Chain A
Amino acid sequence: MNGCGGSEHQFSRRQILGSMAAGTAAGGFGSLLQHAAADELQQANDKQVLLIWLDGGMSQLESWDPKPGTHYGGPYRSIPTSLPGIHVSELMPQLAQRMDRLAVVRSMKTEDPNHSSGVPKILRGHPRDRGVVYPYFGAATAHLLGPTPSRLPPYVWVKPGNGGFISSHAGFLGPKYGALALGGGKPPQNLQRPAAISDELDELRHRLRERFNQRYAAGRRPQVSEAGSHVYDLAQTLMKNVDLFDVDTLPAVERDRYGRHELGQHTLLARRLLEAGVRFVQVTSYGWDTHGDNFNAHATRVPRVDQAVSALLDDLQDRGLMERILVVVMAEFGRTPRINGSVGRDHWPNAWSLAMAGCGIRPGVVLGETLADGTDVNSEAWDIGALFHTWYTALGINSQEAEFMNGTQPLPIAHDDMQPIPELLA
């Protein structure tokens, strides 16, 4: 099924808007219509987002929702946290001490048990299927809130492996809202100017290019010319911030605090990018698809999340940034209670957990619960769509009113049958 279900359809207003727009608009770069309200929102909004994505699916039982001493509970103990009565896995001792700053949902219930379709569904907030390709969370936020005054690219993705400019994350918003991916935490390709081009020559060639563009733009509609110049401006902004991308220059003690591993160093890089004014940073950690050897894997992996996220929370708090930076830690699903013959756990969208903190989020909340043996949700179940509503609301966006424009088609920014979760909002 494609998830195009539900019975209530609130499309009539959109239909009217759509046909009105169709009467006046034609293609061109200007078809990325933005509401006047969106512009105002962007001016005033200083909110930012860090999404820590544990690709493949972290086990809820070895992290946020331990079931020690039960049939499927696994080998680990649970430990008390800074929230009375709340326990988490012994694999996250530092986060346990910081639970009063977090909000955890233990009753996530989503649809898709496959990575190839599940990852995009979760990262798009699983909106109603209208046959259009929705943007990922990062691209959507970049579009809704725009770049900050830093003029840095609004959506940066720190990930192991290759980097580049990942336009596919933008869906119908168009490549402009794609991710600037820093592969291996390294700066974008071609960011370094070859030595053969001196400062003077570089200045000269850009001055000439701008002069030519100015002349070309005279008398024309602005969209194409602006787009042509914008990417060069952005490229030059990135170059000016080249030191941002290099965590090697930071004090060793700071690097140690986040952990000398990919996730640690990439989270540290993310903090720097946010401080410099990137609107949305996603940090991806790969390798969580522990169909085999799940428990040994989590023994070495979860403590790295524990270390990196704890260091980040401390830094954001020390710098007074918690009020305006939303931190989300999640994956495309959790892992099965039953333990397979490879001593692994498989894909489990039926009852899993995620965590968040910061901007607009009520701290110290643990929402929902699972059955004693963890095999299903035992309270109101939440789909990712409700979480997207919650996060947009936390960021100061009216998630039930704001719309994307896909050409001439207005589209809701989150699933139209769902709403923000009040218990999670400050």
Chain B
Amino acid sequence: MSDEAGKPEALTQVESDRQLCLIRVSPSGQYLCGGTYDAQIRCWNPAELVAEPVLRISGHHGWVQWLEFHPQEDILYSCDTWGMLAAWQLRENQAELLWQQEQAHDGWIRSLAVSNDGSVVITGGRDGHVRLWNAADGQLLQDAIADGQEVYAVAVHPGSQEFVSADLFGVLRRWERGQEQCVSEVRLEGMHLFERDQDLGGVRQLIFADEQTLVCSGGEPKQTGNTIAVPVIHWLSWPALETAESLRLGDEQQGYVFDLCRYPDDQWAAVTSGQPGKGQVMLFRRGDEEPWFRHTALTNCHSITVLADGHFVAAATNRNSQGNGAVRDKEGNYLGNTTPLQLFSPGSAATAE
């Protein structure tokens, strides 16, 4: 990191011809991995970013919704919308399947996280379950039932035996290892909307900033049909689950925070996606009233991941991705959408005088 304040600059951009749900960088920095809408994991070398992936991993089904790396090793944990959970060792542009659970959940696994020590993987699914897995061998450690409601996000507490989940209705649940019932729950008003026979859930991600702070991101939905929501991040006290601070990242056209991650120097990086052509890449600190960096050239951004040196990559959607009827090329082929991957140089906020 440079000591001088400076805004990140957009460097290389490459395009994945298949849309990606989420991207993550391996601890070694060798692999930038993304889960696609068609059951693949694609891996690129961030140091030499070109369109052609260095590795494609198949074996999943549906969408590869979420993936996370082991904190120290290039072991990738991935889950999909048909209920499969898997662990892969990445080495020399090859992937070795370490273990897999074909039916870790009944259907869509919405979220996955790895404990700070790398020993536990947590998943939450549409089936209303929160499950803990032994990261080494994939054995089920605990099955918690979150009232049968769709679980949208999960995280493992860094310093205790506790873990947390959030559901479609904006309810946060605090769990303790070995206990069947959740220890406490709290509802985040504004992160759920029921309208025209539809439940819209705004909680998309949970991350422990430290042992006392849980960060919850997503949006405050305002309307069904289109993506109308105010992107929001809440900092909550742990274990009380009281909202200490909130940051709203834009107007209701900007939609949801789709992805959030730590950025060097106690900062955060987030991306949003809302109405077509809306959504941004942002960097900020807790306490900021306004992100100090906003990048608006990429739109409908779905994921962001940070390299060790402060470079970061955002995954977005091509422009003009929306349209009624069939969009075809000159040969008459039906055209789908793509995911541009944009590499940024590091940046840092100007420090207050």
| Residues of chain A at the chain B interface (Cβ within 8 Å) | 56, 68-77, 90, 113-114, 160, 261-263, 285-287, 289-293, 296-297, 299-301, 304, 336-344, 346-350, 373, 375-376
Pairwise interchain contact A342-B227, C-beta atoms closer than 8 A? yes
B331 interface contact, C-beta 8 A: no
Min C-beta distance of A376 to chain B, whole Å:
7
B64 to chain A: closest residue by CB: A75
Interface centre among A114, A285, A296, A373 (most CB of B within 10 A): A296
In the bound assembly, the distance between CA atoms of A348 and B335 in angstroms comes to 14
In the bound assembly, the distance between CA atoms of A337 and B334 in angstroms comes to 9
B100 interface contact, C-beta 8 A: no
Say yes or no: A375-B81 contact (C-beta < 8 A), given A261-B197, A301-B198, A341-B317.
no
Pairwise interchain contact A349-B276, C-beta atoms closer than 8 A? no
A-B contacts, 20 of them at CB < 8 A, read: A68-B61, A68-B82, A71-B18, A72-B336, A75-B108, A76-B81, A77-B107, A263-B197, A292-B274, A292-B275, A296-B201, A297-B198, A297-B224, A299-B126, A336-B326, A340-B276, A340-B323, A340-B337, A341-B322, A349-B325
One of A75, A287, A341 near B321 (C-beta < 8 A): A341
Min C-beta distance of B337 to chain A, whole Å:
6
B2 interface contact, C-beta 8 A: no
Interface centre among A339, A340, A350 (most CB of B within 10 A): A340
Chain B hits for A339, CB < 8 A:
19, 37, 336-337
In the bound assembly, the distance between CA atoms of A239 and B173 in angstroms comes to 50
Interface centre among A293, A301, A347, A376 (most CB of B within 10 A): A293
B39 interface contact, C-beta 8 A: yes
B273 interface contact, C-beta 8 A: yes
Pairwise interchain contact A343-B81, C-beta atoms closer than 8 A? no
Chain A hits for B299, CB < 8 A:
341
B248-266 Cβ-contact flags toward A at 8 Å (1 or 0): 0000000100000000000
Pairwise interchain contact A70-B62, C-beta atoms closer than 8 A? no
B303 interface contact, C-beta 8 A: no
Pairwise interchain contact B226-A291, C-beta atoms closer than 8 A? yes
B310-322 Cβ-contact flags toward A at 8 Å (1 or 0): 0000001110011
A342 to chain B: closest residue by CB: B227
Pairwise interchain contact B225-A292, C-beta atoms closer than 8 A? yes
Pairwise interchain contact B335-A338, C-beta atoms closer than 8 A? yes
Pairwise interchain contact B337-A338, C-beta atoms closer than 8 A? yes
| Residues of chain B at the chain A interface (Cβ within 8 Å) | 18-19, 37-39, 61-63, 65, 81-82, 107-108, 126, 150, 168, 195-201, 224-228, 255, 273-277, 279, 299-300, 302, 316-318, 321-327, 334-337
Chain B hits for A261, CB < 8 A:
197
Say yes or no: A114-B227 contact (C-beta < 8 A), given A340-B276, A341-B276, A342-B300.
no
In the bound assembly, the distance between CA atoms of A342 and B320 in angstroms comes to 11
Min C-beta distance of A418 to chain B, whole Å:
22
Min C-beta distance of B150 to chain A, whole Å:
7
Pairwise interchain contact A348-B324, C-beta atoms closer than 8 A? yes
Min C-beta distance of A293 to chain B, whole Å:
6
Chain B hits for A56, CB < 8 A:
225
B323 to chain A: closest residue by CB: A346
Min C-beta distance of B42 to chain A, whole Å:
14
One of A71, A285, A337, A341 near B318 (C-beta < 8 A): A341
Chain A hits for B150, CB < 8 A:
299
Min C-beta distance of A239 to chain B, whole Å:
30
A263 to chain B: closest residue by CB: B197
A118 to chain B: closest residue by CB: B324
Summed over the interface, the residue pairs from A and B with CB atoms below 8 Å come to a total of 155
Which 10 residue pairs spanning A and B have beta carbons closest together? A341-B300, A292-B227, A341-B317, A287-B196, A75-B81, A347-B324, A113-B324, A375-B334, A341-B321, A340-B322
Say yes or no: A292-B198 contact (C-beta < 8 A), given A340-B322, A347-B325.
no
Chain B hits for A77, CB < 8 A:
61-62, 81-82, 107
Chain A hits for B317, CB < 8 A:
340-341
In the bound assembly, the distance between CA atoms of A76 and B19 in angstroms comes to 16
In the bound assembly, the distance between CA atoms of A121 and B211 in angstroms comes to 59
Pairwise interchain contact B227-A69, C-beta atoms closer than 8 A? no
Pairwise interchain contact B201-A71, C-beta atoms closer than 8 A? no
Say yes or no: A342-B322 contact (C-beta < 8 A), given A292-B275, A373-B334, A375-B334.
yes
In the bound assembly, the distance between CA atoms of A343 and B322 in angstroms comes to 10
One of A90, A341, A350 near B337 (C-beta < 8 A): A341
Pairwise interchain contact A293-B227, C-beta atoms closer than 8 A? yes
B61 to chain A: closest residue by CB: A69
Pairwise interchain contact B325-A338, C-beta atoms closer than 8 A? no
Pairwise interchain contact A291-B225, C-beta atoms closer than 8 A? yes
Chain B hits for A336, CB < 8 A:
323-326
In the bound assembly, the distance between CA atoms of A309 and B268 in angstroms comes to 47
Chain B hits for A287, CB < 8 A:
195-198, 224-225
B336 to chain A: closest residue by CB: A338
Chain B hits for A376, CB < 8 A:
326, 334
A160 to chain B: closest residue by CB: B196
Pairwise interchain contact A75-B65, C-beta atoms closer than 8 A? yes
Pairwise interchain contact A341-B316, C-beta atoms closer than 8 A? yes
Chain B hits for A342, CB < 8 A:
226-227, 255, 273-276, 300, 322
In the bound assembly, the distance between CA atoms of A293 and B218 in angstroms comes to 13
Chain A hits for B81, CB < 8 A:
75-77
Chain A hits for B336, CB < 8 A:
71-72, 337-339
In the bound assembly, the distance between CA atoms of A287 and B198 in angstroms comes to 8
A264 to chain B: closest residue by CB: B197
B258 to chain A: closest residue by CB: A343
Min C-beta distance of A329 to chain B, whole Å:
15
Say yes or no: A75-B276 contact (C-beta < 8 A), given A337-B334, A338-B337.
no
Pairwise interchain contact B322-A344, C-beta atoms closer than 8 A? yes
In the bound assembly, the distance between CA atoms of A339 and B300 in angstroms comes to 12
Q: Can you add 15 more A-B contacts, CB < 8 Å, to A337-B336, A344-B227?
A: A69-B38, A71-B38, A75-B62, A160-B196, A261-B197, A296-B201, A299-B126, A300-B198, A339-B19, A339-B336, A340-B321, A340-B323, A342-B274, A342-B322, A350-B325
Chain A hits for B316, CB < 8 A:
341
In the bound assembly, the distance between CA atoms of A348 and B327 in angstroms comes to 11
In the bound assembly, the distance between CA atoms of A416 and B63 in angstroms comes to 45
Pairwise interchain contact B227-A350, C-beta atoms closer than 8 A? no
Pairwise interchain contact B321-A69, C-beta atoms closer than 8 A? no
One of B199, B225, B321, B323 near A300 (C-beta < 8 A): B199
Pairwise interchain contact B200-A296, C-beta atoms closer than 8 A? yes
Chain A hits for B200, CB < 8 A:
293, 296-297, 300
Min C-beta distance of B36 to chain A, whole Å:
10
Interface centre among A70, A299, A337 (most CB of B within 10 A): A299
Pairwise interchain contact A350-B197, C-beta atoms closer than 8 A? no
Chain B hits for A160, CB < 8 A:
196
Chain A hits for B302, CB < 8 A:
343
Chain A hits for B325, CB < 8 A:
113, 336, 346-350
A301 to chain B: closest residue by CB: B198
